[in-house]
Structure 1
Amino acid sequence: MTTISTYTVTSSRDDKYPFVYANPVRVEQRYHPEHDDSSPAQPTPQATATQSALLLHGVGQQYTLVTDHAIPSILGQEEILVKVQAIGLNPIDWKGPAYNFGIPSLPWINGRDLAGVVVAVRDANSRIRVGDRVLVPSTDYRDIRKAAFQQYAVATHFNAARIPAATGLHVSASLGVAFVAATLALGVSLGLDYTTIAACPGPNLVEVVQKVPPTEIPADVREECFAAVPEHERLRKGDWLVIWGASTTTGMITLQLAKLAGVKVICVADVARHGARLHALGADVLVDRHAPARAVEIIRGVTQGKLRFAVDIVGRDTAALLQEVLVEDGTVREDGSHAHLLGLTGLPKERRPGIVYHTVPIKLFHASAGVGETMVAWLEELLQSTALVCPEVVRHAGGLEGINAALDTLRQGGVSGKRIVIELEG
């Protein structure tokens, strides 16, 4: 048993979605093997100093498995250590090395989605406890300790969501980053109020962000974080929303959150392959992506030329197509409101007046403890209530060593509408 410095929560702004404030105290760190659903034969971090990890040594190269990489150290009082048991693969996991994106230095460890069991906690009053099964969206990609492609990863307690007993570990590893992106896109950038959801009420993120100290919001996303403050600009129940790329995990979660809040949703996707699932998740209109010009006509006809909100998850070209269907070529309405186009992977080169362009302020999730904990607390409730349908997953055995092959499958389009999840031994 080791005595360490930690912090306790002394106050909160909201009982349901707490903001963490801390005062230093001294507590004892305890490890309870009986609460760890991993194999008892596996060493804990207290018993070993190294671990297996996948290292990227150069741009354009495959990852290399090493067995003598240091287990990451807990540096902050708000941090926890997670034994990784499942890893969800994202396109960025192969696009980053291929195009030199999101690689701060070399060698590097990647991986954005993980699930596992908590083996160390510093804050005695944290909502996260040793032995909890958690999913962690690792959005802080500049901190190598938090990457998923290793046996142990550091996270902050306000970025970890506890997994309900009825929810599988592997499916949990598939949804973290997609949930964060979808929730911020709708709730912060477009201003959708989740408190109106009857099945499982969530937060009003516009109000949450307004209470965040400005120093907690990175300067490069600050403008985006306050874009939806004017009420007449916000996405509301009864409005139309178009999602281009709706069959992606992020698209399906965006669809579900929007429908829970009463938004009417048009989904653009490969209807033959994914139409049945999107319909089951609540899509009001399905439009096939294989005929882009026809898709634009259908969207314009369904919305009668009054579409104000669109989300693109594919790229710059499809975002440009969505420009074509936004209300009257982006003209400002009588009440001063604009059309809004959010691009998760790119925005049009040529932009039009009257349209407000958005990107997802993903950094907000890990930069602000209040925002992060608000979101993961709601995710826990959504999973517990089964109001959120999890992605379909394809499970790959082989541990870390199998990730290169699985990423090749992802790169070649071998899996569509599902998430590849890597199983780690133990």
Structure 2
Amino acid sequence: MDSSSSSSSSSNAAGNSSSSSPLSSTTNLTTPASSGELSPVSQSASTMQALLVRSFRQGWDRAFELHHAWPRPTVRKATEVLIRNKCIGLNPVDFKSILFRFGISSFPWVLGRDVAGIIEDVGADVHDLKAGDRVWTCADSRDVRCGAYQEWSIAEAATVGKIPDNMSDDQAATLGTGLVTAAIALYWLFKLPLPSESRAPGSGTDSSLDPDDWVLIYGGGAITGIFAAQLASLSGTKVLAVASPSNFTHLQTSCGIAVCVDRFLPPAEIEAQILERIGKSGRIRFALDCVGSKTAGVCANVLRRSRRGWLGECHFVGLAGNPKEVPPEDAKLIIHRISFSTTFYGSAPWSRRILAELTTLLATRQLHPVHPLPIPDGLAGVRKGLEMLKDGVAPSALKLVARIEDTPAADLTNLGVRCELGWNGA
């Protein structure tokens, strides 16, 4: 443990030096911890801090408990690794799991999917990772040991990527779910060529890209949308995004998006502008919707209308709902469903190949992390961060992250959040 502890402190010092959000001067959610308030790394060699979901039945406010002596997970399989979590990312799916009662097979449970940390132990069959490596992953939510909202977590080695030296822990915590979802959509379902592969039409990929093909991303300011736009552009396709005008400059200068359309226009006007902006020879061949079933319907209409007599297949992925009406005769519109269990978690060769590609793109700064926005109080700040996502008040195009080391001591928390006590204990 000594070697990994020293690696932890050095990587944290290097990582957090450049981790503040570019909006931190105007959107300051972080507060420095007072001296002596931070909890020790763990209560003992076998326990740790973990944010637990205790029950669905008592409502949102009473669903959480910050446990300060939760059993620390251990490597059980030869292909697993143990990660000391340094920084974690927050996702809308976590609050939805509680509100809509899915993805939690028993209680208590540990949620959280986006992890950035340091390897502390590896299984006997793990040869490409070692103790002390800085890594990121998208946690398998089917295993309570893998949840991000705890000090240590388990991951299959095939689903773990190395953090480049030029990236902070905060930045690495923005990758996880958004980046992996984008990769599954583009490379498993749409079958776009990887950026390192030939981009010429007929190069062996199923998509057989044409210069007139476009990728439509509805919700370009969403985390997955930002990553998907970058990857699609790097794979040689033109990208059009429907997004808030406040994000246009960033999306077009930093994310490889060629055209932006105002998301606040009426649906018919959005469709008309998309068709106009791609030109008479352009074709929306692929569409990724990050918003909902209504916007998915707009995507389906544009996929259909932009064909202009072309007889090939068009592909759609909806992250929050599918089009409500698709004509049965429209067999050329292929609607896909994202599945992590059969892709990232179910195919180790594919996961390793994708992670190797993403690592290279990140290390060479061709692919950029989303801007992180740290929230205060570490694990004790997660509930409030999820409430920001739930209530729609979290800034767009930024990723809420929490630093584990900022978690307060046990006597300063209640129901999973920081709770300062007055002089009379009230």
Partner of 1:35: 7
Letter in 1 for 2:401: V
Q: How far apart, CA to CA, are the structure 2 residues paired with 1:137 and 1:183?
A: 12
Superposition deviation, residue 79 in structure 1 = 0.5
- In structure 1, distance between residues paired with 2:197 and 2:68: 42
Give me the whole-angstrom Cα distance separating, in 1, the residues matched to 2:274 and 2:370: 26
Output the CA distance in 2 between the equivalents of 1:378 and 1:107.
36
SS at match of 1:127: coil
> How far does the alpha carbon of each residue in 1:158-177 deviate from its partner, in whole angstroms, 9 at most, with x for none?
11111111101111001111
**Identity fraction in percent:** 31
Q: Which moved more, 1:231-240 or 1:252-261?
A: 231-240
Matches within 5 A, 1:101-116: 101-116=102-117
Alignment partner of 2:344: what SS?
A: helix
Match for residue 187 of structure 2? 187
Distance 1:329 1:299 in 2: 9
Q: 1:306 to 1:236 in 2, by over 3 A?
A: closer
| Higher mean displacement: 358-367 or 123-132 | 123-132
Q: Following TM superposition, by how much is the alpha carbon of 1:36 offset from its aligned partner in structure 2, in angstroms? A: 3.3
Partner of 1:246: 220
Query: Which whole-Å deviations, capped at 9, do the CAs of 1:255-291 have from their partners, x for residues lacking one?
Result: 11111122111110111x1111111122111101111
| Whole-angstrom CA distance in 2 between matches of 1:109 and 1:148 | 7
Question: Could you tell me how far apart the structure 2 residues matched to 1:171 and 1:373 are?
Answer: 21
In structure 2, what is the equivalent of residue 164 of structure 1? 164
Mark the runs of 5 or more structure 1 residues left unpaired by the alignment: 2-29, 205-228
- SS at the partner of 2:166? coil
Q: CA 1:180/1:383 → structure 2, altered by over 3 Å: closer, same or farther?
A: same
Q: 1:240 to 1:356 in 2, by over 3 A?
A: same
Q: Distance in 2 between matches of 1:54 and 1:313?
A: 28
What SS class does the counterpart of residue 326 from structure 1 fall into?
A: helix
The DSSP-based 3-state class of the residue aligned with 1:367 is: coil
Q: Which of 303, 309, 323 is the matching residue for 1:326?
A: 303
Match of 1:425 in 2: 405
Structure 2: give runs of 5+ residues left out of the alignment.
13-38, 407-426
Corresponding residue number in structure 2 for 1:50: 47
| SS of equivalent to 2:50 | strand
Which residue in 1 is equivalent to 2:31? none
Deviations for 1:93-135, whole angstroms, at most 9, x for unmatched residues?
1111111121222221100101111111123652111001111
2:324 aligned residue:
349
In the other structure, the counterpart of 2:290 is 313
- State the AA in 1 paired with 2:295: T
1:362–1:238 Cα change, 3 Å: farther
* Closer/same/farther in 2, CA of residues 52 and 142 from structure 1, 3 Å limit: same
Q: 2:354 and 2:184 mapped to 1: Cα distance?
A: 9
Counterpart secondary structure, 1:370: helix
Please list every run of at least 4 consecutive aligned residues from structure 1 whose deviation after the TM superposition is greater than 6 angstroms: 329-332
| SS in structure 2 at match of 1:351 | coil
**Amino acid across the alignment from 1:300:** L
Once the two structures are TM-superposed, the CA of residue 31 in structure 1 deviates from its matched residue by 5.7
TM-score (norm 2): 0.79
Q: How far has the Cα of 1:90 moved from its partner?
A: 0.7
Q: Is 1:359 the equivalent of 2:337?
A: yes
Helix, strand or coil: the match of 1:174? coil
CA distance in structure 1 between the aligned counterparts of 2:402 and 2:94, rounded to whole angstroms: 13
Report what 2:422 is aligned to. none
**What residue is the counterpart of 1:212 in the other structure?**
none
Distance apart, 1:33 and its partner CA:
4.1
**1:330, 1:338 within 8 Å by CA — same for their partners in 2?**
no
TM-score normalized by the length of structure 1: 0.79
Using the TM superposition, give the Cα deviation of residue 386 of structure 1 relative to its aligned residue in structure 2, in angstroms.
0.6
1:253-292 aligned at under 5 Å gives the runs 253-271=227-245, 273-280=246-253, 281-291=255-265, 292=267
Match of 2:414 in 1: none
Secondary structure of the structure 1 residue equivalent to 2:284: coil
Contact 1:237/1:261 (<8 A) preserved: no
SS in structure 2 opposite 1:311? strand
Q: Secondary structure at the match of 1:80?
A: strand
Q: Distance in 1 between matches of 2:197 and 2:383?
A: 37
Alpha carbons of 1:253 and 1:333: their partners in 2 closer, same or farther (altered >3 Å)? same
- Tell me the number of residue pairs that the alignment of Structure 1 and Structure 2 aligns: 363
RMSD: 2.6
